[in-house]
Chain A
Amino acid sequence: MSLVDATVAAGYTVGDFLLLAAAGFAVLAIGMLYRAVKGPTMQDRVLAVNVLGTNTVVILAILAAALSEPTFLDIALVYALLNFLMAIAISKFTVERGGVL
């Protein structure tokens, strides 16, 4: 018997709880989207999308555990790499001389 099927409270399993937590993270991500849409400067939007991407990685990892799908973890790793690359690339693009790091 895997840990995902263990009961937390009132008949709900750890898997149910993790799915609920993933839903909570998704709601928080929608809140962060506000800054990505409104943000006065371009860097504000990049920062908001970066935070959103980190949230997405956590959601993917939680879904991997809750649904017992280990391949989701690989997708989460690739997503984290692309997210970092996106932030660095856009920052580098706007700075003309020198580096951003």
Chain B
Amino acid sequence: MIDSLGTLGTLRVGLIVAFTLLGLFFSFVSMTGVIRLPDLYSRAHTASQADTLGAGFGLAAVALVIGLEGTGFKTVLLLFFIFVTNPTAAHAITRAAFEEGIVPWTEGDDRR
């Protein structure tokens, strides 16, 4: 029962639920952007920002569940790693696309 956890435990469960829901929300925003935005550059923008935040919230919830045990630090490592590599990968992909000559979307262009 939730009463046997004490105030701190209840707060922790609440934070876990809140972080998981926020992670789901931002991943949903990222999915919507990746599907609906018009060209590669705008899709890379939503993929590197919204998705990184969604993954960050999801991994933060996992870190709260596991706590300060031996494996907890791996979650923080994973979070840090995703925060560093996800925008870097999006940047590399976008740069490769620009070098290949893909034209950025401007107003009036009806590409989907």
Contact = CB atoms under 8 A, between A and B. Distances in A.
A42 to B, nearest CB: 9
Contacts of A54: 51-52, 55, 82, 86
A41 B97 contact: yes
Given A50-B90, A87-B92, A4 B47 contact: no
Given A7-B1, A91-B95, A25 B24 contact: yes
A73 B78 contact: yes
A76 B51 CA distance: 16
Interface string B51-88: 11011001101100111001100110110011001101
A77 B74 contact: yes
- State the majority secondary structure of interface residues on A: helix
B96 A43 contact: yes
Nearest to B74: A73
A18 B65 contact: yes
Contacts of A66: 65
Contact of B2 (A7, A46, A81): A7
Nearest to B37: A35
Given A7-B2, A28-B27, A62-B58, 15 more contacts: A6-B2, A17-B16, A18-B16, A41-B102, A43-B94, A50-B47, A50-B90, A51-B47, A54-B82, A61-B59, A73-B74, A84-B88, A88-B89, A90-B93, A100-B95
Interface of B: 1-2, 4-5, 9, 12-13, 16-17, 20-21, 23-24, 27-28, 30-31, 34-35, 40, 43-44, 47, 51-52, 54-55, 58-59, 61-62, 65-67, 70-71, 74-75, 77-78, 81-82, 85-86, 88-97, 99-100, 102, 111
Interface of A: 1, 3-4, 6-8, 14, 17-18, 21, 24-25, 28, 31-32, 34-35, 40-41, 43-44, 46-48, 50-51, 54-55, 57-58, 61-62, 64-66, 70, 73-74, 76-77, 80-81, 83-84, 87-88, 90-92, 94-95, 98, 100-101
